Amino acid sequence: MRTFIIKANEAHTRADFKLSDLPGTSGRIDVLCRFLNSAFLLSHGFRKNVRVWLLLYGPPDPPKAIRFEGPELKVRLNPDERSTAKLIMKALKMGEGLREPGKEVEVYPGLYISNRTFEDVIRLTLKNSTLYYLHEEGKPVKDVQFSGNVAFVLGDHKGLDAEDEAFLDGIAERVSVGEKSYLASHVVAYTNILLDSLPSPP
């Protein structure tokens, strides 16, 4: 199992944005759509061995955690941004009024929303996966010996803040796909293809 976690500090936590202007009205939910595309999609197929956590921290009601659970997912994920943004909108609508921190609401089979925090999701992930923080100054990902379930944390276009990084220190090894600063969706596409080439891909 591969888990990809992205913290999106400005992504809106209510479905108050326009599908016709995602970059300008949603706090960059378009970034999350491309992230899902890279995490799950093959040319003629879908990766069932993937879980994605989108951690939305923008206005007006942070945090919201949206979980896409590959093995259970029954709703179709299309490659284009707009149709994926509609799924996120639907999840945000179902998450309105959620109060309990640990409760998940099922939006569709395999798609859930909750008020879980970044720290909650990291702690949950650590229970059954080795955690890595994808960062340009980390150890080259080609030299890492991956085994078992793996999980990767990424920042959005602004990156993680110092507090988040301090929280990850000691529990997530920093690994890097290269020395440049790449878009999160490109990093996930690269990591997926690299993991596919391992003798026992997670």
Give residues in contact with a second copy (CB under 8 A): 19-23, 30-31, 34, 37-38, 41-45, 78-83, 157, 177-186, 189-190, 192-193, 196-197
Nearer to a second copy, 38 or 125 (CB): 38
Q: Rounded to the nearest whole angstrom, what is the least distance from the CB of residue 126 to a second copy in the complex?
A: 27
Nearer of residues 13 and 26 to a second copy, judged by Cβ: 26
For a second copy, which is the closer residue by CB, 167 or 190?
190
Q: What is the closest distance, in whole angstroms, from the C-beta atom of residue 151 to a second copy in the complex?
A: 20
- Least separation in angstroms between CB 157 and a second copy: 7
Closest distance to a second copy from the beta carbon of 38 (Å): 6
Residue 133 near residue 175, CB atoms below 8 Å:
yes
Q: Which is nearer to a second copy, 56 or 113 (CB)?
A: 56
Question: Of 43 and 145, which CB lies nearer to a second copy in the complex structure?
Answer: 43
Q: How far is the CB of 142 from a second copy (least distance, A)?
A: 8
